[in-house]
């Protein structure tokens, strides 16, 4: 690493973590990953080999002692986010923290306060705000192209079956957190407001192995509600759908509508003598939002250099966590919950 390169420490070398790592290694000028933290030694070693570096740690505190590290990208399980971000702030490191921000509001507030006290950046990983289509839609909404926003509907459905640790809602906060945090933030962003009341229904339709030990687990959820400014929001989320990765948004206004979300793997379609027309469905979120991740990481780099302020703040992360908690309460208690 040259003297002019700013170091990034990656905490969590899983699939999402490596998206960020590859970006900083080749797509974010002036920045590079200098160390990897992962308690699974094989995962850390594999990541280091790919990135061409040799600093790997099981304990993030050791990594944060390195003066060459300017920023930390946190992609660990949610239950560790608070302690990692507080340690990074104490070490004077800027932070890009993946969603969900934390397990509850109190943890979010601790993270915000620690970063403010240390005067370091806290950016939350809602990468859809950096997607070209989402940005164009936001510009159209702000310009009044569809009149006043009435309703924002956002859905995310993933092809993967949940990891076993996700079955315990107390540890994972369920699909509302793991899958739908992006959708909650999307509704907040396009309405310019926050949920005031929510109602949610959920069920376990695809994971029979979880029903006996985790009767509260759900793999399908619908949440609806009213925003503080009177607008409406609707979210649907699913895990294990099998058919592909599905992320779409509809913004209904008084004078028009905006549709977001390209679900096709390519623009190619074909038909054969059976009469069926086929267009391959996109299989992974990694392809759908690849450039959005690049732009998100570049924006974090600008924040580290003091050239920009976070576009997605700790308060945005906290707002989403608050709705997850309210939604899970609505599911458990079968009632409308006021935030």
Q: Which domains does the chain have, with CATH numbers?
A: 6-120 (3.40.50.720), 129-289+319-338 (3.30.360.10)
Residue 154 has pLDDT above 80, yes or no: yes
Chain mean pLDDT for the chain: 95
pLDDT band at 3 (very low <50, low <70, confident <90, very high): low
Torsion region of 242: left, alpha or beta (phi above 0 gives left; psi -120 to 50 gives alpha): left
Judge if pTM exceeds 0.85.
yes
The whole-number average pLDDT for the span 307-322 is 98
Q: What pLDDT is stored for residue 2 in this prediction? A: 61
pLDDT band at 278 (very low <50, low <70, confident <90, very high): confident
The whole-number average pLDDT for the span 108-121 is 98
| DSSP H/E element including 154 | strand 149-157
């Amino acid at each position: 690493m040259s003297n002019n390169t700013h170091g990034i420490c990656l905490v969590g070398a899983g699939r999402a973590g490596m998206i960020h790592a590859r970006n900083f290694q080749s797509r974010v000028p002036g920045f590079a990953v200098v160390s990897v933290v992962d308690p699974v030694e094989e995962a850390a070693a594999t990541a280091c080999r790919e990135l061409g570096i040799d600093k790997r740690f099981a304990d993030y505190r050791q990594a944060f002692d390195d003066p060459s590290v300017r920023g930390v990208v946190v992609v660990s399980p949610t239950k560790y986010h608070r302690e990692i971000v507080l340690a990074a702030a104490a070490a004077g490191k800027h932070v890009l923290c993946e969603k969900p921000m934390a397990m509850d509001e109190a943890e979010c507030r601790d993270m915000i306060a620690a970063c403010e006290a240390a005067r370091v950046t806290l950016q939350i990983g809602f990468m859809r705000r950096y997607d070209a289509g989402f940005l164009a839609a936001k510009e159209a909404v702000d310009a009044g192209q569809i009149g006043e926003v009435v309703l924002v509907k956002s859905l995310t459905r993933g092809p993967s079956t949940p990891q076993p640790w996700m079955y315990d809602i107390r540890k994972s906060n369920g699909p509302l957190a793991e899958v739908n945090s992006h959708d909650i933030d999307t509704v907040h962003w396009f309405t310019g407001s926050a949920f005031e009341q929510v109602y949610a229904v959920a069920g376990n339709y695809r994971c029979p192995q979880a029903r006996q030990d985790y009767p509260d687990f759900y793999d399908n959820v619908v949440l609806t509600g009213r925003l503080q400014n009177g607008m409406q929001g609707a979210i649907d989320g699913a895990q294990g759908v099998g058919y592909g990765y599905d992320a779409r948004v509809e913004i209904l206004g008084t004078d028009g509508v905006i549709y977001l979300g390209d679900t096709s793997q390519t623009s190619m379609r074909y038909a054969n003598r059976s009469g069926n027309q086929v267009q391959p469905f996109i299989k992974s979120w990694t392809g759908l939002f690849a450039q959005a991740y690049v732009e998100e990481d570049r924006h974090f780099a600008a924040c580290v250099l003091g050239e920009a302020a976070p576009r997605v703040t700790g308060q945005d992360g906290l707002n989403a966590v608050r709705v997850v908690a309210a939604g899970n309460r609505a599911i458990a208690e079968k009632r409308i919950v006021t935030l």
